[in-house]
Structure 1
Amino acid sequence: MSSTQHQPASPALTTLIQRSGLPSPALGEVQAHAVLQTHYGIAGNLSPLGSQQDLNFRVDAPQGSFVLKACHGSYAQLELEAQHAALAYLREQGLPVPSVRPASDGQMLLALEIDGQPLRLRLLDYIEGEPLTRLKHMEPRLMAELGGLCAKLDKALANFDHPGLARTLQWDPQHAQALIAHLLPVLQDSEQRARIEHATRQASERLTPLVAHLPSQAVHLDITDDNTVWARDAQRQWQLQGVIDFGDLLRTWRIADLSVTCAALLHHAEGDPLRILPAVRAYQALNPLSEAELRALWPLVLNRAAVLVLSSEQQLAVDPGNQYTRDNIAHEWEIFDTATAVPFALMEAAILQAASLQPATPDLSGCAPLLPELDGQAVARVDLGVLSVHCEAGNWEQPGFDQHLLTTQPAPACSLHGQYRLSQTHIDRPEEPATCALGVELHVPNGSLVQAPDASTWQRHGDGRGCLRSAHWALWLQGLEDTPADGQAVEKGQSLGSSCGFLSVQLCLDSSIQPPFFATPSQAPGWLALCPSPAALLGFDCNAEPLPDPQALLARRDASFARSQKHYYAQPPHIERGWRNYLIDMQGRSYLDMLNNVAVLGHGHPRMVAESARQWSLLNTNSRFHYAAITEFSERLLALAPAGFDRVFMVNSGTEANDLAIRLAWAYSGGRDLLSVLEAYHGWSVATDAISTSIADNPQALETRPDWVHPVEAPNTFRGRFRGADSATDYLRDVDAKLADLDARGRQLAGIICEPVYGNAGGISLPAGYLREAYAKVRARGGVCIADEVQVGYGRLGEYFWGFEEQGVVPDIITMAKGMGNGQPLGVVITRREIAEALEAEGYFFSSAGGSPVSCRIGMAVLDVMQEEGLWDNARDTGRYFKARLQALVDKHPLAGAAHGSGFYLGLELVRDRATLEPATEETMTLCNRLRDLGIFMQPTGDYLNILKIKPPMCTSRASVDYFVDSIDRVLGEGL
C-alpha cells in the first residue's frame, strides 16, 4: 500500500463533475429482453432494481436468477474489467460475491448502441436475499457484522491490483472537497447550505494534516446496508448472503471503505452517531487501522454524508423521474443530520476508544489551585450514585436533590466526577438518561477565593457563569461573584471572583464546544476523555470509584453459581436498586419492570424497610416459639379465604406450599394418584416437579412423570384442541378418561391440582364450568381439590381476589406465595381443619423460617399497603385499561395473536399465522430483547416461549402501561 496523496488534475475534475450530472441510461424492458435473448440465450421475467446512475434488472429465467446491469458507454471498459477481476479474485478467497456470466460469444462485457445510446452491459449472478436499507432498527450485532465484512474485503483486496483501479469517481473521498464545492449551489435552502459548508470545512481542517499518512489500496467503497444482501435463519436472525455492486471499486485511502460503511449505518443510528462504534470495533479487530486512519475516519464520514446529500439533490435536478434517488434522499439527509448531531471531538475520542486508544490528556501539574483557601483542608466526598445511602424512598426524584444534599453537608464538600447519579434517571422513556457527571459541584464557604489556574481568557456566559479558556483547555465555572469583564485576559493566580457558596466546575479539552454537564452511559467514555477530572486544579480527590465490571461479575457468577439457575438475558444489566415498578442499573438507567410478580407493592417500599428493620431489631425465630405475629397473620389470611377455611400452614415459597398441599391430599384421601394439568408449573421440589408439565421449565417434563401423576389435557381455550369459553365439556372428557382408568385399576385418587387461571399460558381463563365439574368428579372419588394461586391470586387478577372465584368454585386447599411477602420468602397453605389434621397421623409439620416473626410482620404490612394505597382497585381499573390497550395491538398487528388475562396478570401471545396459530417463538425473544433496549424488562413464557406474561408490581400506573404498550407497538411496527 502506498501513502501518497492524490490531487485530481483539472481534466480529472472535469470528468468527475460531468459524471456527477449524468442521468441513468435509458433501457426499456423490450430492449432488455432483446439483449438477453440475443446475447445470452435467456428469456425470463424482468424486475427493475434501483440504482442512482446505472440501470439494473433482475432476471428470473429457467437457467437461474441474474442481474442485467447497464451503464453509460462513457464508462471506461478498463474500469468494468477491474470489477470483474476483483469479483473473481474475491470468490477465490471464499468471499460471497456474484460471478459474471459470459455472453454466448464468451464476452464478459457487451458494448452496444441502443436507440443511438452507447451502453455497456453485463450479466451477473443474482444473490438471493434482501438489503437492510429499510430495516427500521439495526441491532449492534448487525452493525458489527458490516464493519467486520468491510475489514475482510479490505484485507482480501490489499494485494489486488488492476489498471482499471486508477479512475476518477465522485465517491472517492480524495475528491470530496472539490465535488462538494461544485455541488453546493444545487441547494436552494441557505440554512442547509451553511450547515454543509460548516461541517465539511471542519472535516477538511482535521483531515488535511493526516492525508500524507493514509495508506491506499483497492477498496469496494460501498459496503453498506444497500449493497449487502441478507436472509433470516431459523432463529429469525439476519445472516449475510453476499456483497453486490462493485461499481465504486477503485484505489484510494483504505480508511475510505470503513467511512462509507459508517456513513450508511448512520441511517440506522436513531440520531446517535455513537451507535456505529460496533462497526469500528469489529473492523479494528480484523484489520487494524493506524491512529492517523482512525482520526481521519470521522472527517471522511462527514464528507461522505455531504456528498450523498448533494449528489442526490443534483441527480434529482437532472433526472427528476429517478424514483430510486427520490426514495433515498430523505434518509441521506438523516445520515447528515445524525453525523452532525454531536461535537466532532466527541466522535474522534469515541472512535479512538473503540480501537482501544485513549486520547491524550493535558499536564495540569504546573497549574495554580483553583480554590487556594481549601489547600490542606479535608473535603467531604458526597456520594450521589445509585447505591448512595443518601438516596431513599424515591427522594432523589425531588427537583434539585443533589444540590440540596450538597449544601446541607458541612463545607467544604464535593460531588464526584464521573459518577452515575441516581437523581438524573428518568422513567417510561426509551432513551438512556444522561446520568454521568462530567464535572464537579462544590459546597464551599461563601466568599471563597477562586483564581485562574493558568494564563487564560475569561468569557462570560450569564450571571455567575463563564468559561476560562487557556491554550490547552477550557474551564467552565458557575457560582461566582465579581468576575472579570467578558474577554479579559487573566494571569496565572489572578482572582476570578468569589464563590457564592455553591460552585460548579467542569474541565473540557476542546475549547470550541460547551459540553453538557451529564452524559448518557453509552457516550460517557468519549465525553470523559474530553472532560477529564478537574482534581489536579482543585487540589483534592473528587473522582468517583469505577463501577464493577458487569462482565467480570457475570463471569464470577457463572464460575460459582449453579448454571441451572439461569439469569434473564444473555448480557443482563447490572441491577442493584429498585423503586416502585422500576429496576435501576448501576449507571442510573431505570427499567420498567413488567415481569416481577414478587414485588407486588413495588421495589424499595419504605413500609417494608421499616417493618423488617423493626422486627429484626426485636426478634426473628421459628414458629414453634410463641409470639403474636403468627397468630395475627393467620387470622388475617383466614379472613381473606372463603367460609369454612380455618387452618393455615406457613412456608417459604410457592414450591413448598404446593409440596405441602400434595402431602395433605395424600394424608386426607389415603391415595397417592393426583391429576395435574398439562403445560403447568407448580414448583421445583421432587413432588412439585413431578406434577409440573411445562416443557418451557423442564424440556423432559412429559417423559419423567412418576406413575402417581396423571396429566390431563390443558383446557387452553386459545390454542388447545377445543377453542372458546364453552369448551369445558370437551376438555372434561380427558378428566373422565383419567379417572375411569384409575377406577378400573382400583386406585384411590388423592386429588387434583390446577391453577384456576392458566398462568404459564399468560393468564388464559379456563372454559366456563371446567373446575366446577372437575372438582365434583374428584370429590366424588374422595379426592381433594387444590387451587394453586401462587401466581394468579391475592388480588392480582383485579376482577377477583382469588383466581378460583372466576370459576365460581371453592377448593379444599389454597396455596399462595410470590407477592404476599413482596420479596420476603413467604408462602402459605390455607385449608380446613379436617384436612390439616390428617397430616398429624404422619407426624408434625415444621418450617424453620416459615411463619417467622419477620415474615409475618411483612406479610401483614403487605396487606395493609395494598388496602391503604388502593392496589387491588388499581389492579382492577388500570388492568382493564391495560387489557384494552393490548387488545388494540391484536387488532393492529397480525403477529399479536391474542391478549389474555385480567388485572395485572396479562398475556400477549405472538403467532405467525392467525389460522394455524404457529408460535412466533423467535420473534417473541427478539421483541423482549428490543424492549430491554427501550428500558423495559419482559420475558417470553409458555411451552413455545411465544407469550409475554405480563405481571408487574401492582402500583403500576397508566403512564407505564402506555409506555409499555406503545413500545410493543413500535417494535412490532419495526418488523420482527
Structure 2
Amino acid sequence: MPSQQQPASPALDTLIQRSGLPSPSLSQAQAHALLQAHYGLAGELSSLGSQQDLNLRVDAPEGRFVLKACHASYAQVELQAQHAALAYLHDQGLPVPAVQAAQTGENLLAVEIEGQPLRVRLLDYIDGQPLTRLKHMPQCLMAELGALCARLDKALVGFDHPGLERTLQWDPRHAQALIAHLLPVLQDAGQRLRVEQATRLASEHLAPLADLLPTQAVHLDITDDNTVWARDQQRQWQLQGVIDFGDLSRTWRVADLSVTCSALLHHAEGDPLRILPAVSAYQALNPLTEAELRALWPMVLNRAAVLVLSSAQQLAVDPGNEYTRANVAHEWQIFDTATAVPLSLMQAAILQAAGLRTDTVEFSACLPLLPELAGKPVNRIDLSVLSRHYEAGNWEQAGFDQHLLATQPAPACTLHGQYRLSQTHIDRAEEPATCALGVELHVPFGQRIQAPAAGTWHHHGGGRGCLRTPNWALWLQGLEGALADGQAVAPGQSLGTSAGLLSVQLCLDTHLEPPFFATPSQAAAWLALCPSPAVLLDIDCNAEPLPDPQALLARRDASFARSQKHYYEQPPQIERGWRNYLIDMQGRSYLDMLNNVAVLGHGHPRMVAESARQWSLLNTNSRFHYAAITEFSERLLALAPEGFDRVFMVNSGTEANDLAIRLAWAYSGGRDLLSVLEAYHGWSVATDAISTSIADNPQALETRPDWVHPVEAPNTFRGRLRGPDTAEGYLRDVDAKLAELDGRGRQLAGIICEPVYGNAGGISLPAGYLRGAYAKVRARGGVCIADEVQVGYGRLGEYFWGFEEQGVVPDIITMAKGMGNGQPLGVVITRREIAEALEAEGYFFSSAGGSPVSCRIGMAVLDVMQEEGLWDNARDTGRYFKARLQALVGKHPLAGAAHGSGFYLGLELVRDRETLEPATEETMALCDRLRELGIFMQPTGDHLNILKIKPPMCTTRASVDYFVDSIDRVLSEGL
C-alpha cells in the first residue's frame, strides 16, 4: 500500500475532512442555557467523553438524559436515520435509548454557538456501566457481546433509511484509503512500518472477497464501551442497553462483528484467539458466509490500524481531548494483540469457531521425503501425559524426549498432534505449549533426504532449512550437507542426509516459520496450518485424538451417582499428578491447593515402590498374622500422647469417626453426644448424624436425631462472640446442653470436636475451650473424641496433633486422609479400657483396614515425612504462607481474614468488614478464575466464602508465592 495514497472521490474527501475535526466546544454555561431554552431542563452536567462528538450526562429532577452535540457536517438525514433505527429496534424489544423531543416537538436541533454550527439532540440515559475498563473479561461475556451483535444485525436487516448512505471513517470499505492518508501522522518509524505491513497483508486478503460480502444496515460500534451493563445478585453481568448509534450506516454485514472483535482484543490478554467465543456466538444466531468469515480478520487488522491512526490524528488537531488521550494505550493494545499471531492462523481459527472446514492441500503426487523409510514399520514413541516412559518427574529434564528417542531402535518417531508431558510448566498463568505440530525421527545416520516436490530451498543454519513450494513449506532440522540458500529444487533431488535425529514439519502458510509446539487453546488452528507430515513420510506418525472430556463427563453422569459431585462445572480431565501438581490430558499442570489426601505429593516414587512390592507379596485382611500391622500400630502409638495404647485400623475418616462413636457408646453406657455446629465428620449414618455443616448437607440442622446435641460454634471470627478470649462465653452453651441432659436423666456418651475448626478454614478455637468442655464431659462419664482427620498428623506445622494447641489430651483420636497419601487408610487411637469396652458388644473387623499394603504404605508415609522434612516444611513454609495471606487482608477489603497455620489455612472473603456479609459469589468467581490461571481451589464453609487451603506438604515457597500473587491479581482485577 503506498504510504501517501490519496482519496479517490469527493465522498472520501469528506471522510478525510471529518477525520480531522476536533470535538465541538460547549461550555457548561452554554449547555445549561441550551437545555433550559429548548428542553425546559435544569440539572447537573458531567462529561461522558467522545472522540469527535460532545456527550454530556444531564441529571435533572425529571430523570437522566444524554445531551449530544456534533458538527453540522454530519447531515441531518444521517442523524434522523439513527433516531429511526432506535425506534425500530425498540419496537423489536431491544434495549436502546429513546430520543426526547424539544419543546418545539423537534427531536433534532440545528444551533450555532460562537460560530460553531452544531446539531443537538437529547436521549434517555441508560443506567449501568460499560465494560471497557474491566481488568478481566471472562470469555462467556465475550460470547454475550458476539450474540448481541448478531441480534442487532438480524434486527437491522429489515431496516432502511436514506441516511444510511454515508461516508464514514469507520466504514471498512474505506479503510485502505484512510490508512494511506493518515499513516504519516505516526511519528515513530517503527510503529508506522508495523501498521503499513499489517494493513498491506489485510488488504491482500480482503480484496478478492470484497464483492462477495453482503451489505445491510449495521450499528458498526457494538463494543464494550457502547453497551451498558449491571450485575445481578449473583454477580453476573446483565445487559441494560445499547448506546451510541453515531456510526450507523449501510456497509458489509460482517463489519459489525469485526468492530466487536476489535474492541474485545484489549481484554484478550495478548492472545487474540481468546475472543473466538464472540465469533461462535454470532455464528450460532446469525450465520455468516465463508467469504465473510475469511474477511473478518483482515477487517479487524484494518480496524485496529484505523483506531491508532485516528487517535494520533485527533490528538494532533485536538491535543486537549482527554477521552482520546486516555484511549490511546488500549488502542495500541488492540493493534498489538491483533498482530500477535499470523493472519492465516486467525482465519483458520475463525472458520473452526464457526463450524466450517479449513483449507486442505493435496499431497498425493509428492515423493517420499525419506525413500528408504517409506512404508516400513516404525517404532512409535508415546510422549503423552500417560506415557510409560515418564516416571518420577523425569520429564522435567531438559532434552529428555530427544534422549529417549535416540535410545530407541531406529526407525523411531514421535507423534504429530500429541500433547507432550515434557512441555508442561509449573506455577505460571499461561498455558504451556504442549501440542506437537511436527514429528521427530530417529533414523540411521546418513540416510538420504529428498525433495517431495519442486520448490526453493532456504537455508537457516545449524542443520535447519525450509523447502518452500507454491502451496506449502516443509521445515527440516537435523540435516547434513544441505543445499545453498535460494537454490531451486526439483522433485526427488537430494536435500542432504540425516544426522541421526530429524525434525519434520509442514506448514500451509509459506510465509510463516511455525512454532514446533502449540498451546492447547490454539492447537486446533495450528494443526490446520501444520498438517501431519505422514503424507510425505509414508509412515504412521499420527497421535490418536484425545477422548472427548465432555463425552466422558456425560458417561460419568449417566453411571456414577450424581450426589458424588465433581469440582467445577466443566472440569479438566486429570489423569496424572506429580508433587503438588495435577496434570490434565493436554499437559497443563495445575497447582493443587486443596488436596490434603496426597500429603507427600502426587506420584511419589516411594509410594509406587512400596505398594508394588507389598502387592507382589501379600494383601489380605487383618485377622491373619503378619508383621506390618504390628509395626505400624507401634509407630502410631509412639506418635500419640502417653497412655494411648490401642489402635483400630479402618479405611477412612468416616469409618474412624463412626467407630469412635461406637466406642464412646460402649464405654460410657450412654448414647447422647455433643457435636459442634458448622462441622463435618463423615457420611455414614452415625457420622452424618453428628455433622452439622450446611455446606455439606443443607438439611443438616433440621435432620439431627435426638441423640445428637449440637453446641454453638466457637467461631472466633464470625460467631456470636469474636476474638480469642471467648471460651467462657461459648462454654455456656455446652453447660446448657449438659444441664438439659442432666434434667432428663440421660447418660452422656461424649463430645466430638475438631481441635481446629476445619470447615471454617482452620480457625483456632478460643483458648481454653476444649479444656473446659472436656472437663465438663468427663465429669458426667463421657469421653472426648478429637477428630484429627483434616488437621492432624503434622499438617498444622506448629503442632503434630490439633489438640496440642489447646493443651489437652482427648480419650479417642481419629485420623485418616493424608496418613495413607491416597491409600484408603484410617485409624482410631485410644486407651485399652475404652477399646475393650467394645468387646462386650462383639468383635470389630474391617476387611481392608490394616491390610499389609495399607500398613506398609502408612509406614512409608511416616518415613518420607521424616526423611524429606515435610513436618518442618509445613511449619516453616506455613508461617511464610500465613504471613502472605495476612498481607492480602491488609490490601484487599474483600479478604476478610486469614485463618489457620502450617498447610491448613483459610482465607475468608467478606463484602463488609463490620457485618461480615459473606462474599459467596465472589469466592466462587475467584476459584473459577484461579483455575484459568492454573490453580485448583474450591470454596468451603457454611457460606461457601472461604478458601480452605490444604495442599500437599511438599509445597514450596515458589508455589505459595504463585498462589498468593494470583489471588492478589484476581482481587485487583475485581470480582
**Shorter-chain-normalised TM-score: which range?**
over 0.9
**1:3 aligned residue:** none
Aligned length: 970
**2:766 aligned residue:** 767
Task: State the alpha-carbon separation in 2 of the partners of residues 890 and 809 from structure 1.
Answer: 31
Contact 1:770 1:807 (8 Å CA) reproduced: yes
Change (3 A) 1:290 1:376: closer
Task: State the alpha-carbon separation in 2 of the partners of residues 275 and 376 from structure 1.
Answer: 41
**2:208 aligned residue:** 209
**2:390 aligned residue:** 391
The percent identity for this pair of structures is 86
**1:454 aligned residue:** 453
Task: State the alpha-carbon separation in 1 of the partners of residues 140 and 683 from structure 2.
Answer: 36
**1:382 aligned residue:** 381
Q: Secondary structure at the match of 2:660?
A: helix
1:292 aligns with 2:296: no
How far off its partner does 1:8 sit? 7.6
Q: Secondary structure at the match of 2:461?
A: coil
**1:246 aligned residue:** 245
Contact 2:7 2:181 (8 Å CA) reproduced: no
Post-superposition Cα deviations, 1:872-893, rounded to whole Å, max 9, x if no partner, equal 0000000000000001111111
Q: Secondary structure at the match of 1:203?
A: helix
**1:224 aligned residue:** 223
**2:754 aligned residue:** 755
Q: How does 1:394-405 map to 2 (within 5 A)?
A: 394-405=393-404
1:361 aligns with 2:360: yes
Contact 1:369 1:537 (8 Å CA) reproduced: yes
Task: State the alpha-carbon separation in 1 of the partners of residues 335 and 509 from structure 2.
Answer: 22
Amino acid at match of 1:326: R
**2:775 aligned residue:** 776
Contact 2:23 2:52 (8 Å CA) reproduced: yes
**1:800 aligned residue:** 799
**1:664 aligned residue:** 663
Contact 1:921 1:944 (8 Å CA) reproduced: yes
Contact 1:81 1:164 (8 Å CA) reproduced: yes
- Give TM-score, length-normalised by structure 1: 0.99
1:644 aligns with 2:643: yes
Contact 1:358 1:529 (8 Å CA) reproduced: no
Contact 1:8 1:175 (8 Å CA) reproduced: no
Task: State the alpha-carbon separation in 2 of the partners of residues 267 and 220 from structure 1.
Answer: 20
Task: State the alpha-carbon separation in 2 of the partners of residues 332 and 277 from structure 1.
Answer: 19
Contact 2:223 2:263 (8 Å CA) reproduced: yes
Q: How does 1:291-440 map to 2 (within 5 A)?
A: 291-440=290-439
**1:836 aligned residue:** 835
**1:811 aligned residue:** 810
How far off its partner does 1:376 sit? 3.8
**1:910 aligned residue:** 909
**1:117 aligned residue:** 116
Amino acid at match of 2:128: G
Post-superposition Cα deviations, 1:564-605, rounded to whole Å, max 9, x if no partner, equal 110000000110000000000000000000000000000000
Contact 2:231 2:237 (8 Å CA) reproduced: yes
Amino acid at match of 1:719: R
Task: State the alpha-carbon separation in 2 of the partners of residues 683 and 384 from structure 1.
Answer: 40
Structure 2 gaps of 5+ residues are: 1-5
Amino acid at match of 1:26: S
Q: How does 1:98-177 map to 2 (within 5 A)?
A: 98-177=97-176
Post-superposition Cα deviations, 1:188-211, rounded to whole Å, max 9, x if no partner, equal 000000000000000000000000
Task: State the alpha-carbon separation in 2 of the partners of residues 738 and 47 from structure 1.
Answer: 62
Post-superposition Cα deviations, 1:208-257, rounded to whole Å, max 9, x if no partner, equal 00000000000000000000011111111111111000000000000000
Task: State the alpha-carbon separation in 1 of the partners of residues 10 and 652 from structure 2.
Answer: 82
Task: State the alpha-carbon separation in 2 of the partners of residues 256 and 97 from structure 1.
Answer: 21
1:935 aligns with 2:958: no
Q: How does 1:684-723 map to 2 (within 5 A)?
A: 684-723=683-722
Post-superposition Cα deviations, 1:761-797, rounded to whole Å, max 9, x if no partner, equal 0000000000000000000000000000000000000
**2:480 aligned residue:** 481
How far off its partner does 1:43 sit? 1.8
Amino acid at match of 1:659: D
Moved more, 115-124 or 596-605: 115-124
How far off its partner does 1:33 sit? 1.6
RMSD, matched Cα: 0.8
How far off its partner does 1:115 sit? 2.3
Task: State the alpha-carbon separation in 1 of the partners of residues 65 and 832 from structure 2.
Answer: 80
Q: Secondary structure at the match of 1:501?
A: strand
- Give TM-score, length-normalised by structure 2: 0.99
**1:4 aligned residue:** none
**2:520 aligned residue:** 521
**2:3 aligned residue:** none
Task: State the alpha-carbon separation in 2 of the partners of residues 736 and 60 from structure 1.
Answer: 60
Amino acid at match of 1:728: A
Contact 2:590 2:935 (8 Å CA) reproduced: yes
Contact 1:690 1:705 (8 Å CA) reproduced: yes
How far off its partner does 1:106 sit? 1.1
How far off its partner does 1:9 sit? 5.4
Contact 2:7 2:13 (8 Å CA) reproduced: no
Q: Secondary structure at the match of 2:372?
A: helix
Task: State the alpha-carbon separation in 2 of the partners of residues 362 and 9 from structure 1.
Answer: 39
Contact 2:456 2:488 (8 Å CA) reproduced: yes
Amino acid at match of 1:725: P
Amino acid at match of 1:404: H
**2:956 aligned residue:** 957
Task: State the alpha-carbon separation in 2 of the partners of residues 199 and 360 from structure 1.
Answer: 22
How far off its partner does 1:457 sit? 1.2
Moved more, 799-808 or 618-627: 618-627
**1:22 aligned residue:** 21
**1:610 aligned residue:** 609
Amino acid at match of 1:291: E
**2:676 aligned residue:** 677
Amino acid at match of 1:944: H
Q: Secondary structure at the match of 1:373?
A: coil
How far off its partner does 1:463 sit? 2.1
Task: State the alpha-carbon separation in 2 of the partners of residues 308 and 164 from structure 1.
Answer: 24
Segments of 4+ in structure 1 off by > 2 A? Answer: none
Q: Secondary structure at the match of 1:953?
A: coil
Amino acid at match of 1:64: G
1:281 aligns with 2:280: yes
**1:88 aligned residue:** 87
**1:67 aligned residue:** 66
How far off its partner does 1:377 sit? 2.4
Task: State the alpha-carbon separation in 1 of the partners of residues 133 and 787 from structure 2.
Answer: 48
Contact 2:7 2:178 (8 Å CA) reproduced: no
Amino acid at match of 1:687: A
Task: State the alpha-carbon separation in 2 of the partners of residues 662 and 294 from structure 1.
Answer: 67
Task: State the alpha-carbon separation in 1 of the partners of residues 703 and 7 from structure 2.
Answer: 76
Change (3 A) 1:381 1:758: same
Amino acid at match of 2:41: I
Q: How does 1:43-54 map to 2 (within 5 A)?
A: 43-54=42-53
Contact 2:424 2:588 (8 Å CA) reproduced: yes
**2:77 aligned residue:** 78
How far off its partner does 1:27 sit? 1.2
Contact 2:455 2:488 (8 Å CA) reproduced: yes
Post-superposition Cα deviations, 1:94-114, rounded to whole Å, max 9, x if no partner, equal 011111111122111111112
How far off its partner does 1:549 sit? 0.2
Task: State the alpha-carbon separation in 2 of the partners of residues 26 and 867 from structure 1.
Answer: 76
Contact 1:349 1:530 (8 Å CA) reproduced: yes
Amino acid at match of 1:699: P
